[in-house]
Amino acid sequence: MSDAQHSKHQDHAAHDAPHEGPIKTPKQLIVTIVASFVVPVVVIIMLTNFVAFGTKSGAGSDGMSAEAVARRIRPVGSVEVKDVNDPAALKNGDQVFQAQCASCHATGALNAPKLADAAAWGPRLKAGYAGLLQAALKGKGSMPPQGGGEFNDVEIGRAVVYMANQSGASLAEPQPPAAAASVAAGASK
């Protein structure tokens, strides 16, 4: 055999030889399979414990009082039921002004006439109570209906009278329909 043939024969023999890997016995194969499942599970458990049981800052643990926590988790909306026939249940003009109207009428924002500015309120007062009330209820210019608030018509009327009277008018505070009817009945006797 020549050297070239001998080299070719050795290459062919090496190619036909069985391939060997790191796993040589069935026991090594079983250990490898078990480890391939156990190691990732152990790593996941360790990461979960690290994340779950680490020091947390949040509600209650950073010095928040129970009241502050309750304020944070309270419902977004609430329902308030009012008896329109009970004058004590309705807000007065100053309360409605402070709750809703002051954001614009105290500062003059969005060209709103400022409270107690007789020059700015003068032309508006010429429309009378009915005209002012309609503008407040339906909205005017940049002001949304009811100033964007959730008050009934009597409360809005009281706020209108409050602002008008602070600016030089002398309007009577509106009464709820039932109270107005009882006052009229008492006056007619």
Q: What is the pLDDT of residues 29-84, one digit of tens each?
A: 999 999 999 999 999 999 998 888 766 665 445 567 888 888 888 888 777 776 66
Q: How many domains does the chain have?
A: 1
Q: Where in the sequence is the domain holding 138, given as residue range(s)?
A: 89-174
Of the candidates 138, 161, 169, 143, which has an alpha carbon nearest to the alpha carbon of residue 90?
A: 161
Q: Is residue 189 part of a domain?
A: no
Decide if 181 is inside a domain. Answer: no
Domain-located, residue 47: no
Structural domain includes residue 25: no
Confirm whether 13 is domain-assigned: no
Taking 50 as the pLDDT cut, the residues of the chain under it are 59-60
In a domain, 41, yes or no: no
Question: Any long-range contacts for 116-124 (C-beta under 8 Å, 24+ apart)?
Answer: 116/166, 116/167, 117/167, 118/167, 118/168, 120/167, 121/163, 121/164, 121/167, 121/168, 121/169, 122/167, 122/168, 124/164
Full-model pTM: 0.52
Assigned domain for 132 exists: yes
| In a domain? residue 79 | no
CATH number for 97 = 1.10.760.10
